[in-house]
Amino acid sequence: MKRTKINGLLTLEKIPGEVLIKGWVRTKRGSKEFSFMDINDGSALKNIQVIANNDLKNYSDIEKITTGTSVAVTGQLVESPGKGQKWEIQASDIEIINIALESYPLQKKRHSDEFLRTIAHLRPRTNKYGAVFRLRSEMMFASHKFYREKGFRYLTTPLITGADCEGAGEMFRVTSPEPGKENFFGRESNLTVSGQLSAEMFALALGDVYTFGPTFRAENSNTSRHVAEFWMLEPEMAFCDLKENMDHGEELVKYLTRYAMDECQEDMELFIKFVDKSLSKRIDTILNTKFGRISYTEAIEILLKSKKKFEFKVEYGTDLQSEHERFLAEEYFKKPVFLTDYPKEIKPFYMRMNDDGKTVAAVDLLVPGIGELIGGSQREERLDVLEKRMDEMSLSKKDYWWYLESRKFGSAPHSGFGMGFERFLMLITGISNIRDVIPFPRTPGSIDF
């Protein structure tokens, strides 16, 4: 018989008769006469209840089934008299695939997130992390769906690179395995911090493109919002200015949030009920309000005028700290807000110089609970301005020769941004630590699993 997944069973309208399911035992209660088991196969948050009578030939083995055991159950799907479930299975055969040892750590219902991080290989078997990783998968798909519907082309960009996109000196070095022969590629190479520079070349050929892949940062910041390996969704659009770039970012965030609410209801309900009491309101705000838009300069004025005590000093010309970003999004605007036009000194070389000669056409999207979700800009498409900027920043024009050529042969205004995928998941789940929305987090000093 063909196996049915539990998410398929739970939504059935008619009783199909006999079914076969395979999964892991979440709980078991029993007596000499019969046993009840809740089985979960990861396809849905909900379990299905199985009833085993003592006339089953291996009932004495069934009595020994422990939490975590993998089983295959054949039986009749019948209407359940119990509350909260439509169907249950009256088992005619239970095959024990593998008994979980008594040391299985997920015995009780609730464990702390900190503890579950130490068993990251088992945590997806809990309700909460099952929901997180189903949602993560759905949001990956929804991202591709969004861009397909908008006519963008999907581009994969190299993970090993010779270019430093952000110029922040936070790159992991790639070396040759042979001793003494460090530079396999003939020059220094690194794991990429962003696919942007490659994406720009393709935007100037295919029009609208996006890359979506892993990126790497060796910043030694042990915070709840940073990991050394994370996924970034990066659209890059030809003939697009800063305003259109923001419109696009707002549309993307709203689309993905809407998709989660419509297509992942059961898992989203778990986050709304059990993870963050203010999540429902936050999602409503994302969906139904227009995001704020102010300049960096205005943001500095707001921060200086606020009575709030910050740990880090607010000063024009310095980068905003997370506490400042969160104050703006959480307390001042109470919704996501775009900040634009940052001083050129605190932004990378590729951002377009504004007419004031002091600021660049940068944009960050700040969101409640997290701070920066999106970082992007209009790109400098004017060769002379770009070269001047690179000289000022002592960047080698020789190393970026191909990048500069794009400004010689039919250059065009273009814009794009990067959205941290894990930070987006934090936003819509209310989960406050980035380590809990990525399967096996990489952070300083930690590479278990």
Between the alpha carbon of residue 45 and those of residues 20, 128, 378, the distances in Å are 19, 9, 42
Nearest to 302 by CA among 241, 238, 366: 366
Measured from the CB of residue 377, what is the shortest distance to Mg ion in angstroms? 10
HSE at residue 296, side-chain half, CA atoms within 13 A, is: 23
Measured from the CB of residue 418, what is the shortest distance to Mg ion in angstroms? 8
Of these, 44, 232, 303, 427, which contacts ligand 4AD (CB under 6 A)?
A: 232
Q: Looking only at residues 172 through 211 of this chain, which bind ligand 4AD when binding is defined by CB under 6 A?
A: 193-194, 196
The DSSP secondary structure of 204-227, one letter per residue, reads HHHSEEEEEEEEE------STT--
Nearer to ligand 4AD, 62 or 237 (CB): 237
Nearer to ligand 4AD, 68 or 420 (CB): 420
Closest residue to ligand 4AD, based on beta-carbon distance: 375
Name residue, tokens 């400098």.
380
116-123: long-range pairs with CB below 8 Å, 24+: 116/436, 117/435, 117/436, 117/441, 120/439, 120/440, 120/441, 120/448, 120/449, 121/449
Nearer to ligand 4AD, 128 or 352 (CB): 352
CA distance 216 to 99: 39
375 near Mg ion, rule: CB under 5 A:
yes
Helices of type H across 264-371:
265-270, 279-288, 296-305, 322-326
Nearest to 12 by CA among 102, 105, 77: 77
372 near ligand 4AD, rule: CB under 6 A:
yes
Measured from the CB of residue 373, what is the shortest distance to ligand 4AD in angstroms? 5
- Residue 234 interaction partner, one of ligand 4AD, Mg ion, none, beta carbon < 5-8 Å per kind: ligand 4AD
Asked if 397 and 351 count as a contact pair (C-beta separation under 8 A), the reply is no
The CB density around residue 15, as the number of other CB atoms within 10 Å, is 11
Measured from the CB of residue 229, what is the shortest distance to ligand 4AD in angstroms? 8
Asked if 182 and 245 count as a contact pair (C-beta separation under 8 A), the reply is no
Nearest to 60 by CA among 94, 89, 22: 94
Name residue, tokens 């227009």.
290
166 near ligand 4AD, rule: CB under 6 A:
yes
The token pair that represents 3 in the structure block: 């196996």
Measured from the CB of residue 287, what is the shortest distance to ligand 4AD in angstroms? 20
Of these, 123, 128, 136, 217, which contacts ligand 4AD (CB under 6 A)?
A: 217
Looking at 105-113, 140-148, 252-260, 373-381, which segment touches ligand 4AD (CB under 6 A)? 373-381
Asked if 188 and 198 count as a contact pair (C-beta separation under 8 A), the reply is no
Nearer to ligand 4AD, 200 or 267 (CB): 200
If binding means CB under 5 A, how many residues of this protein chain bind Mg ion? 1
Measured from the CB of residue 165, what is the shortest distance to ligand 4AD in angstroms? 5
Looking at 220-228, 299-307, 329-337, 367-375, which segment touches Mg ion (CB under 5 A)? 367-375
Looking at 31-39, 144-152, 170-178, 370-378, which segment touches Mg ion (CB under 5 A)? 370-378
- Residue 232 interaction partner, one of ligand 4AD, Mg ion, none, beta carbon < 5-8 Å per kind: ligand 4AD
Of these, 68, 75, 369, 376, which contacts ligand 4AD (CB under 6 A)?
A: 376
CA dihedral (139, 142, 148, 151) in degrees, to 10, reads -80
Binding mask 123-162 for Mg ion (x = CB under 5 A): ----------------------------------------
CA distance 233 to 147: 11
Measured from the CB of residue 364, what is the shortest distance to ligand 4AD in angstroms? 7
375 near ligand 4AD, rule: CB under 6 A:
yes
SS3 335: coil
CA distance 113 to 443: 16
If binding means CB under 6 A, how many residues of this protein chain bind ligand 4AD? 24
Nearer to ligand 4AD, 165 or 428 (CB): 165
Binding mask 398-437 for ligand 4AD (x = CB under 6 A): ------------------xxx-x-xx----------x---
Between the alpha carbon of residue 327 and those of residues 69, 160, 182, 276, 368, the distances in Å are 47, 37, 46, 19, 8
Task: Please give the residue ranges that form the binding site for ligand 4AD (CB under 6 A).
Answer: 165-166, 193-194, 196, 217, 219, 226-227, 230, 232, 234, 372-376, 416-418, 420, 422-423, 434
Binding site for Mg ion (CB under 5 A): 375
